[in-house]
């Protein structure tokens, strides 16, 4: 997660998701062992982690969240010069879990924008702080 002042995702020249005020960008990667229980944990952390200004959370502030699926979070570059993506779950497994995180966040009353799963996305953001937090389940 990154605390941002603004952020957007563009696919093929079209802005598909954006937040235009302070909030969070959640880069969500899914691995083979992730499941429905992880969805609730990740959504709760995104909503309630106190990383906004004055130790506030997105839920406290009503801050927007831009969720971007990102399998490359599970890239392994320990050997050689070419990363392997073996730890990333395949699309048919990952996409429903990313969608479930988005639905959970919206169910908490948060404004949520998204990227486009599987697309070549241009992600622009202004990191505020900078603040970047890794959340793993």
pLDDT in tens, 32-89: 999 999 999 999 999 999 999 999 999 999 999 999 999 989 999 999 999 999 999 9
Helix ranges, 17-62 (H):
36-48, 58-61
The pLDDT value given to residue 79: 93
Q: Hey, what are 124's tokens?
A: 């622009």
Tell me the catalytic residues. Answer: 70-72
Q: Which residue has the tokens 């909030």?
A: 23
Arithmetic mean of pLDDT over the chain: 96
Q: Chain-centre distance of CA 9, in angstroms?
A: 12
The SS3 assignment for 8 reads strand
DSSP state of 54: G
Residue 100 phi/psi, 5-degree rounding, is -70, -35
72-100 b/e with 16+ CB inside 10 Å = b? eebeeeeeeeeeeeeebbeeeebeebbeb
The pLDDT value given to residue 72: 87
The pLDDT value given to residue 137: 87
Q: How far apart are CA 25 and CA 22, in angstroms?
A: 10
Q: Burial-class residue 20 by CB neighbours within 10 Å (0-12, 13-18, 19+).
A: exposed
Looking at the domain that runs over 2-132, which CATH code has it been given? 3.50.80.10
Among the listed residues 93, 137, 133, the one whose alpha carbon sits nearest the alpha carbon of residue 117: 93
Please count the residues of the chain.
137
The pLDDT value given to residue 45: 97
């Amino acid at each position: 997660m990154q605390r941002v002042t603004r952020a957007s995702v563009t696919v093929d020249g079209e802005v598909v998701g954006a937040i235009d005020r302070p909030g969070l960008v959640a880069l969500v990667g899914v691995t083979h062992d992730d499941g429905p229980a992880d969805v609730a944990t990740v959504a709760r952390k995104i909503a309630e982690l106190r990383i906004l200004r004055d130790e506030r959370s997105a839920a406290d502030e009503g801050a927007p969240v831009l969720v971007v699926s990102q399998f490359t979070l599970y890239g392994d570059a320990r050997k050689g010069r070419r990363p392997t993506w073996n730890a990333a779950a395949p699309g048919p497994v990952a996409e429903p879990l990313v969608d479930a995180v988005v639905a959970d966040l919206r169910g908490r009353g948060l404004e949520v924008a998204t990227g486009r799963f599987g697309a070549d996305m241009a992600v622009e953001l202004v990191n505020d702080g900078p603040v970047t937090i890794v959340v793993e389940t």
